[in-house]
Structure 1
Amino acid sequence: MNELTPDRFDAGPALLAPELVLLPEGPAREHAAVVADGVFTAVGPLERLRREHPDLTPVALPGHLLMPGFVDAHHHLTQVLGSSLAFGEPSEIFRRVWIPLEGELDEESAHLSAKLASLQALRGGFTTVAEAGTRAPVDVEAVAAATREAGLRCVLGLVCNDVGEPGTTPSEVLARAEKHLARYEGDDLVHASLAVSIPEAATERTLRDTAGLAREAGAVVQIHVNEHLASVERSLVRHGVRPLEHLDRAGALGPQLLAAHATLLTAAEVELLRGRGAAVSYNPIASAWKGDAVAPALTLAQTGVRFGLGTDGTRGDAFRLLDAAESAQRIAYGLTMGDSSCGGGWTWLEHGTRASADAVGLGALTGEIAAGRAADFLLVDVTVPELRPSWDLPWELVRLADRDQITAVVVGGRLRLWKGWPTDWDGRALVERAAEVGREVVARARITRAHPVSTEHRARNGAR
């Protein structure tokens, strides 16, 4: 058998024979996968695939797990140049940090930001991200081109706000939305999506019409929903109902909706989500860093509400996201009721991969190692001290694994990263250029922080 080399995936059809394959039902030994033309053409017992494909020499991958790439169900790719400026800040930082920052982006800096964020995501094991829509005053193709160049699959949102946008009519918004959905038809990596920042940012007509367009196109509409107490209260004052209820009243609540955050849900709203078939992005790190609450993800799972895991642009490390997803549920809900399982480990793997792909509208395309699915996968080194001996690999991946164990990241059958860095473009040069441009962008942006940076905070409060 041939040993794996970085150029092996560009050599045509391959029969990959790892130590373990992560299937929907769990990790399997003596299994293999055939990759050809960017998809898995066969998955099953190694000996059977050897017989069925005598022309292929198995590529031995000792000590490696072949698993689906993770799907980030909620990201903001054009905010990465100022990521840590939001650390230690109260909620609704989009008004004081993100809108000013994105407002200073031009074509080059928006492209650099999106490509840097894409590199971070790939390094962390994400093969797909859902971009919630940039507010940068640029053509969204700058973001699309960046993800395409990096080799990251992207569900690309176009912001369709028409409230508080002078001169913007619902008809104009709808026309732009139609063009955006048509623009990326047939694109290998970019999948069009629509977006509304929050329900109050669009008229009821636009909420209804964008939902209809998305349903017809098989796309999703990404909307921040029930994220903060302030947003719930604004909706109650302005519309007499909570944000999710407002979407339902407008005819915008359905299978096409990807509700970002949904941390503040009543029992009636959970049932509303289930009944309408809407999906949620559970963003536990965002809850820990700037949120008012933790979405009741286990309740969503138990009641049949669709949901995926999202970073909200916090950090591009999928294994740490799994850990945060489980830990947040344990602290917020499990400890108070004596639930020591909190999803049993597998729940978070499932909702970081296959269920997350479903939530962002790509469930038929990616998210699992199965024949007919896109060859979006990771090779993870399982010989590290933390995973030897191994007794319960799903739990171990959730609590012990990290991105340093990822040997290879493959998207659409092409090797995109090898041991953390791109194989066909200069990732280090991008990082240096993004750092240079990022300093210029932040210097121009009128960012307002409620708290000082950490070194100033230490000086003010004194070292103890």
Structure 2
Amino acid sequence: MTPSPKSETMQHLFAHDELLLLPEALLLPEGPAHEYAVVIADGIFQHVGPAREVLAARSDLEPVRLPGHILMPGFIDAHHHLTQSFGKAAGFGEPSEIFRRIWIPLEHSLDEETAYVAAKLAALEALRGGFTTVTEAGTRAPVDVATVAAATQDTGIRCVLGMVCHEEPDHGEQHLARWDDATLIHPSLAIPIPEIATAETLRDTARLCADAGTVFQIHVNEHLAAVERSLERHGRRPLEHLHDIGALGPHTLAAHTTLLTPPEMRLLADSGAAISYNPVASAWKGNAVAPAHMLATLGVRFGLGTDGTRGDGFRLADAAEFAQRLAYGLDTGDSSCGGGWSWLEHATAGSAAAVGLQELTGEIATGKAADFLLVDTNVPELQPSRDLPWELVRLANRDQITAVVIGGQLRLWKGWPPDWDGPAFVEHAADIGGKVLEQAPLQRVHSTSVEHRRTSNGRGCDR
């Protein structure tokens, strides 16, 4: 009997040296393709093509049929803060620039053990949301970044591992050379915001990344206060300052860029820099929404990032389209705002290009890493199906993800790791995270939602 994704025996199939999968459809760069198959071996897609062609070429393999499932690229989070996972709810309803009042105090309260647990909790959430790669923007916890690397490796997720290096620039080169033998770790350098580093440090760090073929991560033009600080200090906006000192180029990954003038959009396009478009962060704690659709039209490379808000790839793609429609489409009568396909593309291949992994992952193609999702499409939300890319963006949910595979290895099966106790770890993380939050000197402006309701003018049931 042909194995079915409904059966737990599917977990054991990925232990085979080679695997031939026949899903209902593949999500290829040009769109969904039916009657296609893939062969996986040594962690990569050895063959992607029409099923008849693949079956004829590999008659030695027993095909695994996956009715009702689409095989699609895993989502790639272009901007994350893994060691901030304990504090997600502490930032709800807070004004912008909460990094000063919440994130820095929280991360400074972490030690090796708690930083590891926080990062692993974030990585597990990312897996559950369909992410096969996360881009860590650099922790400010007083720990070796190897702690974060260990958490992601133990979870099995691919990680672009940023290291904050403005205080010790000499350590940057060591970090870039440290992970040569780590298949899931891709080193990067980061300076959180331009104003905390000298022009020389910004320029040298950017050049070091360019020479190493990796990305230089930096938050730019995210909040009004940051823009005004830059104008006061340099007479230039943050992005303009990076350009003036020679730190803006194809190696740059600029996070957020929500506040852009037309000349700055032109700077991004001309420099070849990439951005991380973080729509949920804009809604939760930002001042504006990045003009992502306009930037795409100008040829600016960009990926989608969570900024540590919630690790859910489908909801991120939905937010990306939804934010563009509200911020720009309604005013111009643009009812498409890039169409469903563009947001899937930027969440996968576009993100891979933005974080420097375009040669490795981001699409279902021969020679690329076998980083993919098996998504159950035989659900009420997606039937009857008429336009799968749009449906995946607006209607799909992470609970439809049957399997998450990274480098050919099964990392998640029906929401949980097949080779370690995910629920037990979550209980452990809840206990540790609660203690960290009690001790960290966080400064919240607003009360919790329950307290807000009690003290608000409209007391509702409390009257």
TM-score, length-normalised on structure 2? 0.97
1:174: Cα distance to partner?
Answer: 2.8
Give the AA of the match of 2:51.
L
1:440: Cα distance to partner?
Answer: 1.3
CA RMSD, 1 decimal: 0.8
SS at match of 1:270: helix
1:184: Cα distance to partner?
Answer: 0.9
SS at match of 1:345: helix
SS at match of 1:49: helix
Give the AA of the match of 1:19.
E
Q: 2:33 aligns with which of 28, 52, 56?
A: 28
State the alpha-carbon separation in 2 of the partners of residues 178 and 426 from structure 1. Answer: 36
Give the AA of the match of 2:204.
D
For 2:266, the equivalent position in structure 1 comes to 271
State the alpha-carbon separation in 2 of the partners of residues 233 and 20 from structure 1. Answer: 50
For 1:308, the equivalent position in structure 2 comes to 303
1:444: Cα distance to partner?
Answer: 1.2
For 1:97, the equivalent position in structure 2 comes to 102
1:309–1:352 Cα contact (<8 Å) kept = yes
Give the AA of the match of 1:79.
Q
1:447: Cα distance to partner?
Answer: 0.3
1:463 corresponds to 2:463: no
For 2:152, the equivalent position in structure 1 comes to 147
Give the AA of the match of 1:99.
I
For 2:330, the equivalent position in structure 1 comes to 335
Give the AA of the match of 1:97.
I
TM-score, length-normalised on structure 1? 0.97
State the alpha-carbon separation in 2 of the partners of residues 210 and 334 from structure 1. Answer: 38
For 1:203, the equivalent position in structure 2 comes to 198
Give the AA of the match of 1:3.
S
1:73: Cα distance to partner?
Answer: 0.3
1:2: Cα distance to partner?
Answer: 3.4
Cα offsets for 1:38-63 (capped at 9, x unmatched): 00011010010011111111110000
Q: 1:344 aligns with which of 300, 324, 339?
A: 339
1:2–1:57 Cα contact (<8 Å) kept = no
For 2:278, the equivalent position in structure 1 comes to 283
1:297 corresponds to 2:299: no
State the alpha-carbon separation in 2 of the partners of residues 208 and 10 from structure 1. Answer: 46
Give the AA of the match of 2:307.
D
State the alpha-carbon separation in 1 of the partners of residues 233 and 389 from structure 2. Answer: 45
For 1:2, the equivalent position in structure 2 comes to 3
1:202: Cα distance to partner?
Answer: 1.1
State the alpha-carbon separation in 2 of the partners of residues 363 and 385 from structure 1. Answer: 34
Cα offsets for 1:251-310 (capped at 9, x unmatched): 110011100000001111111011110000000000001100000000011110000000
Cα offsets for 1:185-222 (capped at 9, x unmatched): 23110100000010111111111111111111111011
State the alpha-carbon separation in 2 of the partners of residues 392 and 431 from structure 1. Answer: 37
For 2:358, the equivalent position in structure 1 comes to 363
For 1:374, the equivalent position in structure 2 comes to 369
1:7: Cα distance to partner?
Answer: 1.4
For 2:255, the equivalent position in structure 1 comes to 260
SS at match of 2:446: coil
1:56 corresponds to 2:61: yes
State the alpha-carbon separation in 2 of the partners of residues 39 and 215 from structure 1. Answer: 27
Please list every run of 5 or more consecutive structure 1 residues that lacks an aligned counterpart in the other structure.
163-172
Q: How does 1:300-449 map to 2 (within 5 A)?
A: 300-449=295-444
1:463: Cα distance to partner?
Answer: 2.8
Q: How does 1:70-149 map to 2 (within 5 A)?
A: 70-149=75-154
1:76: Cα distance to partner?
Answer: 0.3
Q: What percentage of aligned pairs have identical amino acids?
A: 66
1:190 corresponds to 2:191: no
Cα offsets for 1:343-363 (capped at 9, x unmatched): 111010000000100001101
1:101–1:442 Cα contact (<8 Å) kept = yes
SS at match of 2:138: coil
Give the AA of the match of 2:45.
F
State the alpha-carbon separation in 2 of the partners of residues 33 and 275 from structure 1. Answer: 38
Please list every run of 5 or more consecutive structure 2 residues that lacks an aligned counterpart in the other structure.
none
State the alpha-carbon separation in 2 of the partners of residues 139 and 129 from structure 1. Answer: 18
1:429: Cα distance to partner?
Answer: 1.5
1:433: Cα distance to partner?
Answer: 1.0
SS at match of 1:2: coil
State the alpha-carbon separation in 2 of the partners of residues 218 and 430 from structure 1. Answer: 36
State the alpha-carbon separation in 2 of the partners of residues 452 and 179 from structure 1. Answer: 43
Give the AA of the match of 2:411.
R
1:160–1:202 Cα contact (<8 Å) kept = no
Give the AA of the match of 1:11.
H
Q: 2:449 aligns with which of 447, 454, 463?
A: 454
Number of aligned positions between the proteins:
454
